[in-house]
Amino acid sequence: MNKAILAGIALMLVRDCELVGSRPAGGTIKGTWGGDNAGLIADDSSAHVHIRCTFGNVHQAIVLDAAGRFDVPGDYVLRAYPVYVGPTLPARFQGSVSGKTMALSVTVQDTTADTTAQLGPVLLFYGQEPRMGPCPICRRPGR
């Protein structure tokens, strides 16, 4: 092969590796993602989300589409603090990932009040601990 073709192939490989490397491995959201008063902790089969003093869960892997977006069902508690008032409510967790930054929104169908609540969008950053405000339910033990 000539040098121009090899250089072009090398450039494509470097470009594609940078694009793929900036997203979670396998297109699945994993690890800790943190931001101001928001956080997401995910593994290959579930995720837990806090936005302010509310929280919710996804009961499946969050898999990105080819454009880096996701939209998955789960459940959410809108009235978690200062007094937990259930029940958990049906929710949609939607967002996108670009590099190590996630934009996340949660739409909750509040069946007790027959309304829809929108939380976010919030920005989360891969590998960053959530910076939760004064909400005690969101503090990790020992802190």
Full DSSP string of 65-100: -TTSEEEEEEEEESB-SSS-B---EEEEEEEEEETT
Residue 143 pLDDT > 70: no
Query: What is the residue extent of each domain of the chain?
Result: 3-138
Residue 110: count other Cβ atoms within 10 Å of its Cβ: 15
pTM of the model: 0.77
Band (138; pLDDT cuts 50, 70, 90): low
Q: pLDDT digits over 80-132, tens only?
A: 877 788 889 999 999 999 999 999 999 999 887 889 999 999 999 999 999 88
